[in-house]
Amino acid sequence: MNNNDIFKKLRVALMLRDDQIVEILELVDFRITKSELSAFFRDEKHENFVECGDQVLRNFLNGLIIHLRGTKENPKNPTVVLGSNKAKALENIKNSAKAPKIANVKTLHTSSQQAKKPYQKDKPKKKVEIVEKVKFKNGKTSK
């Protein structure tokens, strides 16, 4: 397991978005852009994949401690921070579910248009035989 895998698993487990990870890294004065960050989460075979170094992961973990626990002067409760992150993630999911979707073509017809169409019974489809009927003779002649 390499640093990229650890970083990916922490991101998923803590439900962190890219902008949140950038903010966490800024807590320890480590600046990184979203595009540089997304290169860590790409597939290893992708041309823009970048190996996550020890320094990046170390700074992320140190920033994560400050993000969850706070500082000595201003301590935080980690469960409250994780709960707020979870609430934000669920809110984003709900907002994306409310987005308008492409209407189904059948739903665009009005009831008057459907009433004008004659009833068409579905014709049974011919059964397609995969194997042809073969007559085996097995060396015996029939009269």
Assessment of whether the complete model's pTM goes beyond 0.85: no
Residue extents of the structural domains in the chain? 3-97
pLDDT score at 88: 80
Partners of 70 in the β-ladder:
75
pLDDT score at 117: 56
Residue numbers in the chain where pLDDT is lower than 50? 103-110
Give the contacts of 127 (CB within 8 A, at least 6 positions apart): none
pLDDT score at 108: 47
CB 67 within 8 A of CB 80: no
Read off the tokens for 142. 């029939």
CA 13 distance to own-chain centroid: 13
